[in-house]
Structures are given as C-alpha cells and as structure tokens.
Amino acid sequence: MKRLMLSLLLLAVAAPVLFAQQTLNVYTIMPEKYATKVFAAFTADTGIKVNFIRLSSGEALARIVAEKKNPQVDALWGGPADTYEAGILEGVFEQYKPREADAIPAKFRSAQNYWIGIGVIPLCFMSNAKFLKDKGLQPPTSWNDLLHPAYKGALQMADARTSGTATERIYTLVKIFGENEAFAYQKKLHQNIQLYTKSGAGGAMPIATGQAASGVFYIVDALDIQQQGYDVVISYPKEGVTYGVEAAGILKGARNLELAKKLMDWASSKRLGDVMMAEKINYIPTRPDVKVSNPALDMTQVKLIDTDIAWKGKNREAFVERFVNEVIQQ
C-alpha cells in the first residue's frame, strides 16, 4: 500500500515533459475539418508540422488568458477578429507584421500588427426549404420577414454569450436600426425563437433536418450544410449584413516564435486564399487578388455593411449584457 501511495504522489508531482520537437502548436477556432486541410497545405509548403486543437472562440480566449504565464501554444488560428481585440487588452498577443501584410486591405488586419485577417464571412439567412414550401413562404429577404407569425417557435440562432455569430448579428442590427431599435427588434424576434444555441452553427443542423425553420448564420456554416446535401435555402436581407473577419495571430511568449512567424507569412500570402478556394472552404479571402471561384461567395449582389473592429470590441460586452437582460430575460 505504501509503495502504491508513493507512486501516486510521484505521478501527482511529476514534472511535465517539455516540448522538444520542432512543431508549431496552435489553438484553432477555425473548424477542424478546414484547419486539417489548411495546415496540411502549410506543412506541404514549409515542412513545418502543426499540432492543433479546436476550441470555440470563448474557450480559446479563456484558455489563452489563463495560460498567459505559460503559453501552451504559439499561435491562435481563425476566429473573429474581435476575439483578438479582446485578447490584446489582456496582453496575450505578440506584434508581428507578416511579409505580405500590405497586400491585405487595412480594414482586414490589426492596425498595431497583432493579427491579420485570413478570411471574411458575412451573415446570411438559412431556411429549411420544405418548411418554406409547406407554409407557402418565400425565403426571407428582410430582417422584418423573420418576425412573421409563421416562424413562431421555429427560429434557432446563436446565444450572444457564447457565439461570435450572435454578436455579429447584433452589430448588424445596431448598424441598421440604431442601438435601442435593434434591441426592440430583438425583443419582438424573441417571440419566434425556439432556442438560442451555444455555437454559431448550432442551429444549422436542426434547420437542415427540419426541427427548426430558419436562422441567422455566417455564410461559411450555411454553405457547409448545403454542400453536405441538405435541402436548405440561403438568402440575404435587403437591409444588409455585417461580416466577420477571421483572423490569426502569434501569442506572447510563444516557444516556437520563428515557426509562428512563418505561419503568419504564409497566411498573408495569396497561397492561403487559393488553398481555401481549392478545398471548398467557404471564406471570402482577405486578399483581393485571389480569384473567387465559388458563385455562392460572390458578394456583388449583397449589401455588406462595413464595421470597425475596434467598435465591435468596445461595444461587445455592453451589447451582450443588454441581450441577456432585455431579450432573453423578458
């Protein structure tokens, strides 16, 4: 018994083995199935291996902040830029200007070079085609269409406390209606809500399978469902939508700083956009010189509302508070 107890104690305090290999360690907010393909291409191009684990944006940020004194990874990949802005305030990111950063429009990268944009994703509506047909409805083309009584208890969209998709939705509404009107609208919309989901894409599968009728998503998640073969309809509101900028950045105290810089250099090149197009990863590339082959990503017919990321970061918490106190709690 003594010996067993002793080994138990030894295991308890055993010093962890240090990272020794020349691999890059990354937290990715980008879905795993995309990250696998993107990093495979990066490894093929540079010979650098990538260890990664997928986390939601909130979890990723919480961990990075908690691990501040002892970073477990070198870089954060994907996820909305306002997550990065929040991280900057916590002092967890390293400044680095990638080689081809200037080829990316300034609105798609950090002014202080903490992060660069790797893709743009506007919001859209996604609806179950059968539901629309059964109710004799057209796909929604205005935010006010979602208030139609036919949708009562049939909408699923993300909860602002956990999902970047949801905060993006609020930014759009505030930009269109003004802040107070935006929340008044959401209170009305609440009557039709079946469920607020934890993740931005959480409502997509229920809509695909007919549990819910419609919802607001980032285009990347909506297209993914459609590509899997589900009978869904994607539409855009005429009032317009804001878009999220997917970013990437290096963590302060990264153990493989040089490798992380190479990843940022690669991400700022035209190569990343080409890989995403080839692999059907539905982000709109941040480099204007990438040729967009997928017609679904053709944004010429969509009214895109520009938003300042610093404004998003600054207002996020207040908007979420209002969302919890006024919309959810009513």
Partner 1 sequence: MTAASASRIRRPSLALRDPALFFALVTLWLSLGLFIILPFLRLLQATFIKDGALTLANLVKVWGKAYNRRAFSGSIILATGVSLAGTLLAYLFALAVTRTHWPRWVRWLLSSITILPLISPPFTSSISLTLALGPNGMLLKALGLGELNFYGFWGTWLSETLTYFPVAFMVLAAILSAMDPNLDDAAFSLGASRRRMFWTVTVPLSMPGIANSLLLLFGSSLADFATPLILGGHKFPVLPTQAYLQITGMYDLRGGATLSVLLLLPALLVYGIQRWMIGRKSYVTVTGKSGARSNFATLPRGLEIAMVIVCGLVALFIAYLYFIILWGSAVRVWGVDNSFTMEHYAYVFTHGRKAITDTLKIGITSTVLGSLLAVVLGYLFQRFRFAGRKTMEFVSMLNYALPGTVVGIAYIIAFNEKPLLLTGTITILVAAYIFRYYATGIRSVMASLQQIDPSLEEASMSLGAGRVRTFMEVTVPLIIPAVLAGMRYLFIHSMTAISATIFLVSVRWTLLTTRILESMTELQFSQASAFSIVLIILVFIADIVMGWALRRSSLRFGTTQETSYDNTGA
- Of 29-68, binders to partner 1 (CB under 8 A) are 31-33, 36, 51-54, 56, 58-59, 61-63, 65-67
Using the CB atoms, write b or e for 91-116: b if 16+ within 10 Å.
ebbbebbbebbeebeeebbbeebbbb
Query: Which two tokens mark 102?
Result: 């200037």
In the complex, minimum distance from the CB of residue 168 to partner 1, in angstroms, rounded to a whole number = 14
Q: Pick between residue 101 and residue 121 the one whose CB is nearest to partner 1.
A: 121
In whole angstroms, how close is the CB of 139 to partner 1 at the nearest point? 19
Nearest CA-CA partner of 143 in 92, 199, 184: 184
Contact characters 85-124, partner 1, x per CB under 8 A: -x---x----------------------------------
Minimum gap (Å) between residue 74 Cβ and partner 1: 10
> Of the two residues 69 and 291, which places its CB atom closer to partner 1 in the complex?
69
Residue type, position 167, single letter: T
CA distance 30 to 246: 8
The contact mask relative to partner 1 for 147-176 (x = CB under 8 A, - = no) is ------xx----xxxxx-------------
Here the tokens at position 234 are: 């994607």
List the interface residues with partner 1, window 212-231 (CB under 8 A). 212, 221, 224-225, 228-231
Question: Which of 103, 137, 205, 302 lies at the binding interface for partner 1 (CB under 8 A)?
Answer: 205
Considering only residues 17, 20, 44, 106, which one is a binding residue for partner 1 as defined by CB under 8 A? 17
Q: Which is nearer to partner 1, 28 or 268 (CB)?
A: 28
Q: Given the rule CB under 8 A, which of 100-108, 181-189, 194-202, 251-259 is the region that contacts partner 1?
A: 194-202
Burial degree of 87 (CB within 10 A; 0-12, 13-18, 19+): buried
Task: Please name the residues in contact with 170: beta carbons below 8 A apart, sequence gap of 6 or more.
Answer: 160, 182, 186, 319, 320, 323
Q: How far is the CB of 33 from partner 1 (least distance, A)?
A: 6
Query: Closest separation between CB of residue 269 and partner 1, Å?
Result: 24
Task: Name which of 176 and 249 has its Cβ closer to partner 1.
Answer: 249
Q: Determine the Cα angle at 19 with ends 50 and 271, to 5°.
A: 20
Question: Rounded to the nearest 10 degrees, how much is the dihedral formed by the CA atoms of 262, 263, 269, 271?
Answer: 120
Per the listing, tokens 């919802």 go with: 215
State which of positions 230-269 bind partner 1 (CB under 8 A).
230-231
State the pairing for strand pair 241-251/75-80.
antiparallel
In the bound state with partner 1, the residue whose beta carbon lies nearer, of 18 and 111, is 18
Binding of partner 1 at residue 194 (CB under 8 A)? yes
- Look at strands 155-158 and 304-305 and give their pairing: unpaired
Report, in Å, the least distance between residue 1 CB and partner 1. Answer: 5
Bridge partners (DSSP) of residue 195 are 156
Strand locations in the chain (E): 23-28, 49-54, 75-80, 93-94, 115-128, 155-158, 193-197, 214-218, 232-235, 241-251, 304-305
Nearest distance in Å: CB 328, partner 1 = 5
In the complex, minimum distance from the CB of residue 99 to partner 1, in angstroms, rounded to a whole number:
26
Number of shown-chain residues binding partner 1 (CB under 8 A):
76
Q: Does 298 bind partner 1 (CB under 8 A)?
A: no
Long-range contacts of 296-302 (CB under 8 A, 24+ apart): 296/219, 296/223, 296/226, 296/234, 297/219, 299/122, 301/236, 302/122, 302/236, 302/240, 302/241
Among 175-183, 199-207, 269-277, 285-293, which window interacts with partner 1 (CB under 8 A)? Answer: 199-207
- Contacts of partner 1 in 300-329 (CB under 8 A): 317, 320, 324-325, 328-329
Distance CA 71, CA 253 (A): 6
